[in-house]
C-alpha cells in the first residue's frame, strides 16, 4: 500500500513538474517576444539574443523593398547591436570560452546565426592578425567591436582602369585587374562601437586589430556558396595622380 502511494506521488510529481516546466517555457518565450516586439522597446532597451534575432529578421526583409535604403537599414542594425551585451549571451559566451588561436596570423570565426537574408558571425583576432583589403559583393556589413579595438579603412571603387595582367601561381592562372579606390573612412573602432559598409559605398575594407579583439558582424544578405570576394592590393604610399583620398589598386579573386 505504501509502495503504491509512493509511486502515485512520483507520478503526480513528474506530471506536475512537466506542467510547471511547460508554463515556465511559455512565460519565458512570451517575455522574449515582448522584449523584442515592435513598440515595446526603445533605444535603451537591453535585448536578449532571441529578441535581437527576431528584430533583425524583420529589418532584413527591407532588402526586398526596392530601392533598398541600405543606410537606413545599417543604422537600424547598428542600433540593435548597441542594445546587446553579447559576451553575456550563453551561445556567444560558449564560443568565446572555446576560443583557441588555431590559425596563426589569421582570425578565428564562428557562425552565430545563418539564414539566406542575413548572417551573424563572431570574429576573434590576436593583435596584428590583419585582414587585407577585400570586398563583400552586393552585401552590407555592420560590425560591433565587443572587446579590443581595430583600425579599419573603407574604400569605394572610383573607376576601373583598362590594364590587366595574368599571374600564374601554383599552376593556376589568375587575372589581376586595376582600379582606383576612394578612401571613405579611416577610423579606430573601440569596444562598444560600430562600423558599417554598404553594397557599393565603402564595400572594400581592411581590418587591423590593435590588440586581442572580438567582433560581432552582421552580413546582409548572407554569404552564398558562390560568393567570391576580391582581394585588393592598395598602393597607400601615394595618392593616385596626386588626387586626395584616391589610391590605385590591383585586385584579384585570390589573396595577394
Ligand atoms: Fe570584411
Q: How far apart are the CA of 205 and the centre of ligand 1, in A?
A: 6
pLDDT of residue 42: 72
Which cell is 158 given? 572610383
Q: What is the mean pLDDT of the chain?
A: 88
pLDDT of residue 31: 47
Binned at pLDDT 50, 70 and 90, residue 8 comes out as very low
Q: How far apart are the CA of 151 and the centre of ligand 1, in A?
A: 13
In this prediction, what percent of the chain has a pLDDT beyond 70?
84
pLDDT of residue 43: 75
Residue-wise pLDDT for 11-20, tens only, equals 445 445 444 4
The sheet with strand 108-115 has its strands ordered as: 108-115, 118-125, 213-220, 140-147, 194-197
pLDDT of residue 163: 86
As a whole number, mean pLDDT of residues 133-154 equals 97
pTM above 0.75?
yes
- CA 158 centroid distance within chain: 25
As a whole number, mean pLDDT of residues 119-128 equals 97
Q: How far apart are the CA of 227 and the centre of ligand 1, in A?
A: 13
Q: How far apart are the CA of 149 and the centre of ligand 1, in A?
A: 15
pLDDT of residue 39: 53
Q: Among 40-44, 78-82, 185-189, whose mean pLDDT is lowest?
A: 40-44
As a whole number, mean pLDDT of residues 220-236 equals 95
Asked if residue 122 has pLDDT above 80, the reply is: yes
Q: All domains of the chain, ordered by start, with CATH?
A: 37-252 (2.60.120.10)
Residue-wise pLDDT for 91-106, tens only, equals 999 999 999 999 999 9
Do residues 247 and 235 make contact, with C-beta atoms less than 8 angstroms apart? yes
86 beta partners: none
Region of 170 please: left (phi>0), alpha (psi -120 to 50) or beta.
left
Residue-wise pLDDT for 145-199, tens only, equals 999 999 999 999 999 999 899 988 888 888 999 999 999 999 999 999 999 999 9
Q: How far apart are the CA of 233 and the centre of ligand 1, in A?
A: 15
Q: How far apart are the CA of 176 and the centre of ligand 1, in A?
A: 20
Q: How far apart are the CA of 36 and the centre of ligand 1, in A?
A: 28
Q: Measured between alpha carbons, how far is 152 from 177 in angstroms, rounded to an integer?
A: 23
Amino acid at each position: 500500500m505504501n509502495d503504491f502511494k509512493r509511486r502515485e506521488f512520483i507520478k503526480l510529481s513528474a506530471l506536475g513538474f512537466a506542467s510547471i516546466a511547460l508554463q515556465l517555457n511559455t512565460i519565458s518565450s512570451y517575455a522574449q517576444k515582448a522584449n523584442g516586439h515592435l513598440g515595446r522597446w526603445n533605444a535603451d532597451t537591453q535585448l536578449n539574443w532571441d529578441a535581437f534575432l527576431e528584430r533583425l529578421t524583420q529589418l532584413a526583409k527591407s532588402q526586398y523593398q526596392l530601392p533598398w535604403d541600405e543606410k537606413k537599414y545599417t543604422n537600424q542594425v547598428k542600433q540593435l547591436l548597441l542594445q546587446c551585451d553579447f559576451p553575456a549571451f550563453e551561445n556567444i559566451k560558449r564560443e568565446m570560452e572555446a576560443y583557441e588561436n588555431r590559425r596563426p596570423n589569421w582570425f578565428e570565426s564562428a557562425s552565430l546565426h545563418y539564414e539566406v537574408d542575413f548572417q551573424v558571425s563572431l570574429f576573434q583576432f590576436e593583435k596584428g592578425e590583419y585582414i587585407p583589403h577585400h570586398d563583400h559583393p552586393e552585401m552590407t556589413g555592420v560590425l560591433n567591436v565587443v572587446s579590443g579595438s581595430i583600425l579599419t579603412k573603407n574604400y569605394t571603387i572610383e573607376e576601373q582602369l583598362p590594364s590587366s595582367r595574368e599571374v600564374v601561381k601554383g599552376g593556376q592562372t589568375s587575372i589581376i585587374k586595376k582600379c582606383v579606390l576612394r578612401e571613405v573612412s579611416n577610423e579606430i573602432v573601440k569596444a562598444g562601437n560600430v562600423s558599417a559598409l554598404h553594397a557599393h559605398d565603402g564595400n572594400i575594407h581592411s581590418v587591423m586589430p590593435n590588440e586581442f579583439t572580438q567582433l560581432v558582424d552582421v552580413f546582409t544578405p548572407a554569404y552564398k556558396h558562390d560568393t567570391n570576394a576580391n582581394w585588393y592590393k592598395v598602393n597607400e604610399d601615394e595618392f593616385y595622380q596626386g588626387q586626395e583620398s584616391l589610391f590605385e589598386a590591383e585586385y584579384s579573386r585570390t589573396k595577394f
